[in-house]
Amino acid sequence: MMRIIQFLFLLLAANLLQAQSEVISLDKTKEVFWKIEKDHRIHWDLTQETRLPHEDNIELNGQKVAGIITYTIDEKKQVEVERHIIFPQLRVFINSDANKWAKYRAYLKDDYTDQIIPKIIVENRTYKIGAVEEIVIDGVLNIKHAAVQGLSLQRVFVPSMTKRMFVEQWILTNESDTVKTLKINNTFFRQEQLGEDGLYIREIFSDGQKDLVRLNPGEKYAFGIYITARLNDEPRIQTNHQRTVETRRRYLDGIWAYLQLKTPDPVLNTLFDFSKVRASESIFDSPMGLVHSPGGGRYYGGVWANDQAEYSGPFFPYLGYDIGNEAAMNAYRKFAQNLPEDYDNVWSSFEMGATLTCCGGDRGDAAMIGFGASQFALASGDAKLGKELWPMIQWCMEYCRRQKNEAGVIKSDSDEMEGRIATGDANLATSSLAYGAWKNAALLGKALGEDETEINNYQQEAEALALAIENYFGADILDLHTYQYFQGHEYLRHWICLPLVMGIDKRKEGTLDALFSKLWTDNGVRVEYNTSLDEPDLFWDRGTLYAFRGAFIAGAADRALPKLRAYSQTRLLGFHVPYVVEAWPEGNMAHLSAESALYCRIFTEGLFGIRPVDFNRFVLTPQLPSDWDNMALEKINAMGSTFDIYVKRSGGEQRVEVVKNGKTIYDKTQALGTSFEIELLN
């Protein structure tokens, strides 16, 4: 009995501690812990740090492994590291009494504390890792420790890009003026476990030199700690810590090289760079082929109508990341292969390597898929891909047509919040996405040379839906001329930003007031302005990211920019870095990958206003903020070309120059806020 009481007390204490931690984290939203350095790096100098203790985590992915690394630093600057390592392709058996969602998260995974690190003996004394002096994030996680017994330590955490392996590289440096002799007592753990695919063998080991290591003053010695998994008779994974780090660096160099944002604001530039990495690293090998997945400890080896079809898929053509484009097409193909013949609603997701579907209701998924796939097809510049996707887009548009209610808006059971909060039987998000999908489908159909009658019908459907959105959702709430989210809804909701994203701006001023005043918090746009909610400050970053994109599209650059900078500074340099997140409190602000794609799209589609209208032609509507003289996007890979866009202030106007293959193909000056139509010549 006493043990039960002690257990309950400890459980209560742990829950209270977690709650306090969450409150503390949210109280830190205005603090800046990190500084930007060149070469796509952020740096936290702890030598003078007094705001301790502090805890944070970062996710790092390869095609067959995901690692969420949590580092907790105490008042004495000692760090504890926990490694949550996931092998997405290996499915485990679940308990018979597990809840229904357990099978959707049945990945081979475990947590590894610092108990796995090897013991090092330096001149007959056990080496004790020194205090943390600095942490650097530059696509990998680097923790540098102060010298103890004359030896400093740098730890580099990195996933293998293609193997079931996560690596922690240790680099020891002799900081003294004498020779140091050390002995490494290597780690080795082995665990066998039966799973759905057979025998899983996990091994955790280090490869330090077995003989004595002699380090002269200034000399370095490096070795690796590996967490690996293999299946049945697969051979042991060939390990090389330096090669793993170098492979990751080559991947990062490729991502840094393309779609370069250059503005006067280093915070925006750097978070954009980091977002490219997070958006593109979360791609996993699966029976569907390579697929992009959200990550976050919960979502791997699957595709979703919102995260992949709507959020990340349309981004990859701009980055020119072939693997990303391949993953996007694999997602669209999976949805295309599973369209109900009777126009029942499409599955929202195909998870666990497409062995599990979800979830039976309609979140507006057809509108999501139609909107995202048509954007992707046009941005890819590939008519062959457009032709392949066209029947699926046609199906999505017909499904939306059949879902019209008497008022002409589109019905759905819920939206991307999946019933977490009320949506009525027809919500603004689904209708806005359907409107955007019809507009894009008309452009794509014209580019493909499809039937003119069908194209005209799509244009007419879009026009009719825009009018229906105004009549059905248009409302004054809290004296703001904006939208009700569903019929009779009396609160402001984050998704009222979506008409702005689609170019519907009749209620622009009231909607911007709602987003950036009533709904605004230090963590961005809250889900709903409603103090009666259990979590009145509940936020999902996707709403904030869409709000910024919509504000720029609506021409409100000066209004959006200060909010965007403050939000970006918190996500890049604040209490939980270096990416935008999913939500809070659900998921504890996980670094879901597709949200990073949405961050990049604030700039490509919002600030620069790139809108493909054909396979090699686009409309550009840049929104140059009043306190900027210039901005640029270099090495854009879209519409079958690689090109640069330069926007410069010229008196009271703006000059747009487009450069392709080192040659200026477009150079024109006209009024601020106006559009430019640009053809990418062959």
Q: Where are the domain boundaries for CATH 2.70.98 in the chain?
A: 24-252
Element (H, E) at 221: strand 220-231
Beta carbons within 10 angstroms of residue 523's beta carbon: 21
Give per-residue pLDDT as tens, 294-309.
Answer: 999 999 999 999 999 9
Q: What integer is the mean pLDDT of 231-255?
A: 97
* Confidence at 531, pLDDT banded by 50, 70, 90: confident
Strands (E), 445-598: 474-477, 480-483, 520-521, 524-525, 539-540, 583-584
5 vs 548 pLDDT, higher one: 548
Q: How far is CA 564 from CA 559, 560, 567, in A?
A: 9, 6, 5
- The residue whose two tokens read 């979800």 is 358
What is the distance, to the nearest Å, from the Cα of residue 596 to the centroid of all Cα atoms in its chain? 3
* Confidence at 16, pLDDT banded by 50, 70, 90: very low
For the chain, how far is it from start to end, CA to CA, in angstroms? Answer: 79
Q: What is the DSSP string of 352-369?
A: TTTTEEE-SS-SSHHHHH
What letter does residue 297 receive in the DSSP assignment? T
- Residue 2 predicted with pLDDT over 90: no
Give per-residue pLDDT as tens, 581-606.
Answer: 999 999 999 999 999 999 999 999 99
* Confidence at 682, pLDDT banded by 50, 70, 90: low
| Structure confidence at residue 10 (pLDDT) | 36
Phi and psi at residue 364, to the nearest 5°? 85, 25
d(CA 107, CA 85): 10
| Structure confidence at residue 226 (pLDDT) | 98
* Coil/strand/helix, residue 41: strand
Helix/strand/coil (H/E/C) assignment for every residue in 499-527: HHHCCCCCCHHHHHHHHHHHCEECCEEEC
Helix/strand/coil (H/E/C) assignment for every residue in 100-141: CCHHHHCEEEEEECHHHCCEEEECCEECCCCCEEEEEECCCE
d(CA 504, CA 491): 21
Q: Are strands 151-159 and 141-148 parallel, antiparallel or unpaired?
A: antiparallel
| Structure confidence at residue 681 (pLDDT) | 80
Tokens of residue 331, six digits: 């997602």
Phi and psi at residue 608, to the nearest 5°? -90, -20
Percent of the chain at pLDDT > 70 equals 96
Q: What integer is the mean pLDDT of 168-174?
A: 98
- Residue 661 predicted with pLDDT over 50: yes
Percent of the chain at pLDDT > 90 equals 92
Is the link from the previous residue into 53 a cis peptide, with omega within 30 of 0?
A: yes
- Residue 473 predicted with pLDDT over 80: yes
d(CA 66, CA 357): 22
| Structure confidence at residue 27 (pLDDT) | 59
What letter does residue 486 receive in the DSSP assignment? B
| Structure confidence at residue 11 (pLDDT) | 37
- The residue whose two tokens read 């580092």 is 71
Phi and psi at residue 220, to the nearest 5°? -115, 155
* Confidence at 21, pLDDT banded by 50, 70, 90: very low
- Residue 17 predicted with pLDDT over 80: no
User: Is the CB of residue 219 less than 8 Å from the CB of residue 173?
Assistant: yes
86 vs 101 pLDDT, higher one: 86
What is the distance, to the nearest Å, from the Cα of residue 307 to the centroid of all Cα atoms in its chain? 9
d(CA 184, CA 329): 48
User: Considering the domain 258-607 in this protein, what is its CATH number?
Assistant: 1.50.10.10
Q: Where are the domain boundaries for CATH 1.50.10.10 in the chain?
A: 258-607
Tokens of residue 114, six digits: 């610092």
Kindly report the pTM of this predicted structure: 0.95
Name the packing angle between helices 541-553 and 593-601 (round to 10°): 10
Establish how many alpha carbons lie within 13 A of residue 667's alpha carbon, considering only the half-sphere containing its beta carbon: 6
- Residue 22 predicted with pLDDT over 50: no
What CATH class is the domain 24-252? mainly beta
- Residue 13 predicted with pLDDT over 90: no
Tokens of residue 159, six digits: 């996933």
User: Is the CB of residue 487 less than 8 Å from the CB of residue 424?
Assistant: yes
Element (H, E) at 223: strand 220-231
Tell me the torsion sign for CA atoms 87, 79, 250, 237: negative
Give per-residue pLDDT as tens, 551-580.
Answer: 999 999 999 999 999 999 999 999 999 999
d(CA 252, CA 237): 23
| Structure confidence at residue 265 (pLDDT) | 97
